[in-house]
Amino acid sequence: MTLLSPPPMPGTSGTGVNPSHPDGADDQPRTVGRLTQDDIASLVAAFVGSLALTWLVYFQLLPLSGKVGFLFCWYAAFLAVYGLVSSFGNPRPVVVDRLWGAAVAGAAGVVFFAVLSVAIYTLVKGEGAWIHGNFWTHDMAGVGPTETLTHGGITHAVAGSLIELAIATAVSLPLGIGTAIYMVEIGGRFSTVVRTVVEAMTALPDILAGLFIYTVLQLGLGFQRNGFCAAMALSIMMLPIIARSADVSLRVVAGGLREASLALGASRWATVWRVVLPTARSGLATAVILGLARAVGETAPVLITSGASTFFNTNPLKNPMNSLPLFIFSSVRSGEPTYITRGFGAASVLLVLVVVLFIAARLLSREKTKR
């Protein structure tokens, strides 16, 4: 018994090869998301060729100088050469895609280099201070301007920052999340006004928060300069960040969860407390961390409201209380080399703290996305 093979499809030969292609190959989708050998060869050729061309024109043919100008001209020449090399064997959409990818990657590289250079410069300038153990365990009480880096430390500034941030978080956390709950779950005409005010407060200059607390609490109510006033100023800066981020987190909670809870007889408050908030827990934690990262580096509010001190103070209601931003400002402004080094050392600590907070926020957001 002989089996008959099915007839070939229209437009193809009996061997399964598309005759419309002169090389006899079937249509294949273009690979995206990874570099091919052609991409790598084009990048290397454009990189080397643009570098040589820019060096020849910039330094040899034209009376130009300067590293920054050379880098800008090199980048422009790289894009031109890369587009020209890519156009030899690729269609126009591929060339445009490569050029836009190179432009975006270059912009991201500039931003990354700027941030990395600032971080490295700060760490190197402060190395003379933070390599000593007393920098982490002592305060600046009784330390004169001519004392070496083996005397004094930042424990009073670290303790002051932690106390002020704790008070500011205790004030702004319930207010921020409560505002977000009102905007998302309650709504109404007034919620539009609240949302507009919250969005406007995210761009509020930090000096205005310090002036407001200084006018109301210190001039109006007779408070002295202390950590509590500084914490109130920081809470004003944290409040819109927490409210706005929490608003976004609550909005992404599926409406079906709310409907199911209400259909089972739960009240609106029980639905929010037992369904909505637990679902958005990671997003709310991210909102708090972003608010802390915003407040931990503010200098102007604490400069006006807390006052600088050199001694260890854990009472936020009595006597001035130092903090890391204020210690950095005072040290660098003094003009003494040892104080400037201590200021950069404190800036290194503050930089690491902010990076840790943002990494924690990213990890919580990633956990939220996985769920």
Contact (CB, 8 A) for 258 and 274: no
Query: Of 275, 237, 227, which is closest to residue 255 (Cα–Cα)?
Result: 275
Contact (CB, 8 A) for 308 and 156: no
Query: Of 291, 299, 316, which is closest to residue 231 (Cα–Cα)?
Result: 316
Contact (CB, 8 A) for 246 and 180: yes
Given a cut of 80, whether residue 133 has pLDDT beyond it is yes
Give the count of beta carbons closer than 10 Å to the beta carbon of residue 32: 8
Query: Of 332, 288, 330, which is closest to residue 306 (Cα–Cα)?
Result: 330
Residue 164 is predicted with a pLDDT of 92
d(CA 233, CA 302): 7
Run of H or E residues at 238: helix 227-251
DSSP states of 64-108 as a string? ---HHHHHHHHHHHHHHHHHHHHTTTS-HHHHHHHHHHHHHHHHH
Measured in Å, how far apart are the chain's first and last C-alpha atoms? 59
Contact (CB, 8 A) for 105 and 330: no
Residue 163 is predicted with a pLDDT of 92
Give the count of beta carbons closer than 10 Å to the beta carbon of residue 287: 28
The lowest-confidence range among 28-37, 83-92, 218-227, 250-259 is: 28-37
The lowest-confidence range among 7-11, 69-73, 224-228 is: 7-11
The values of phi and psi at residue 203, to 5°, are -100, 15
Given a cut of 90, whether residue 170 has pLDDT beyond it is yes
Contact (CB, 8 A) for 350 and 325: yes
Contact (CB, 8 A) for 301 and 210: yes
The tens digit of pLDDT for each residue in 240-259 reads: 999 999 999 899 888 888 88
Phi and psi based region of residue 147 (left: phi greater than 0; alpha: psi -120 to 50; beta: remaining): beta
Token pair, residue 341, equals: 């080094």
The tens digit of pLDDT for each residue in 10-24 reads: 544 444 444 444 444
Token pair, residue 282, equals: 């990671």
Q: How confident is the model at residue 314 (pLDDT cuts 50, 70, 90)?
A: confident
Return the domain boundaries, the chain.
37-125, 147-370
Q: What architecture (CATH level 2) is domain 147-370?
A: Orthogonal Bundle (1.10)
Given a cut of 60, whether residue 122 has pLDDT beyond it is yes
User: What mean pLDDT is predicted for residues 54-79?
Assistant: 84
The tens digit of pLDDT for each residue in 194-217 reads: 888 888 888 888 889 889 999 999
d(CA 110, CA 92): 27
Burial of 345 (0-12, 13-18, 19+ CB in 10 A): buried
